[in-house]
Amino acid sequence: MASVLDRIFAAKRAELEQTRRRIGLDEIRARAASSAPPRDFIGALKSHRPAIIAEIKRASPSKGDILPGLDPAGVARGYAAAGAACISVLTDPRFKGSLDDLNTVRNAVDLPLLRKDFVFDPYQVYEARAAGADCILLIAAMLSEGDLRALAALAHELGMAALVEVHDEEQFRIAERIGASLIGVNNRDLHTFVTDISVTQRLMRDYRGDALLISESGIETAADVARLDRAGARAFLIGESLLRCPTPRILLGDFLYALDYQSGFPLAPSDRSAARKAGQRLRVKICGITRVEDALAAVDAGADMLGLNFYPASPRYVEFERAREIRRLVGQRAQLVGVFVNATRAQIERYGQGVGLDLIQLHGTEPVEEFFGWQVPVIGAVRLDPDGAANRAPCWGHYVLYDAMDARLHGGTGRRVPLQWFRGRDLSHAFISGGLTPENVAEVAALRPYGVDVASGVESAPGIKDHLKLRSFIENAKSAG
> What pLDDT, on a 0 to 100 scale, did the predictor assign at position 232?
85
pLDDT of res. 408: 53
Please pick, among 35, 127, 165, 215, the residue that the annotation labels catalytic.
165
pLDDT, mean over the chain: 85
Domain boundaries, the chain: 4-276, 283-480
Please say if the pLDDT value at position 270 is more than 50: no
Closest CA to 402 of 424, 420, 387, 380: 380
User: Which pLDDT belongs to residue 385?
Assistant: 74
Q: Is 57 a catalytic residue?
A: yes
Q: Does residue 216 carry a catalytic annotation? A: yes
- Quick one: pLDDT at residue 386? 66
Q: Which of 35, 217, 314, 476 is catalytic?
A: 217
Whether 217 is a known active-site residue: answer yes
Task: Identify the active-site residue in 35, 88, 98, 186.
Answer: 186
The CATH code for residues 4-276 is 3.20.20.70
% of the chain at pLDDT higher than 70: 86
Report the pLDDT value the prediction gives residue 131, as an integer from 0 to 100: 96
Question: End-to-end CA distance of the chain, in Å?
Answer: 56
Query: What CATH number labels 283-480?
Result: 3.20.20.70
* Identical fold between 4-276 and 283-480: yes
Dist CA 381 CA 341 (whole Å): 10
428 flagged as catalytic? no
Q: Which of 57, 285, 465, 478 is catalytic?
A: 57
Higher pLDDT, 424 or 175: 175
Share of the chain above pLDDT 90, in %: 55
The confidence band for 395, taking pLDDT boundaries of 50, 70 and 90, is very low
Pick the most confident of 5-19, 364-378, 401-415. 5-19
Give every CB contact of residue 175 below 8 A, 6+ residues apart in sequence. 140, 148, 164, 166, 183, 211
The tens digit of pLDDT for each residue in 46-100 reads 988 778 999 999 988 777 788 777 889 989 988 988 889 999 999 999 889 999 9
For 421-476, the pLDDT digits (tens) are 777 777 877 899 988 999 999 999 988 888 999 999 999 999 999 999 999 999 99
Q: Which residue has the higher pLDDT, 426 or 214?
A: 214
pLDDT at 279: 42
* pLDDT value at 414 more than 70: no
Q: Choosing from 127, 216, 366, 459, which is the catalytic residue? A: 216
Q: Of 35, 88, 98, 116, which is the active-site residue?
A: 116
pLDDT of residue 268: 45
Specify whether 165 is catalytic.
Answer: yes
| Burial of 213 from C-beta contacts in 10 A (0-12 / 13-18 / 19+) | buried
Predicted TM-score (pTM) of this structure: 0.60
Predicted confidence at residue 67, as pLDDT, reads: 76
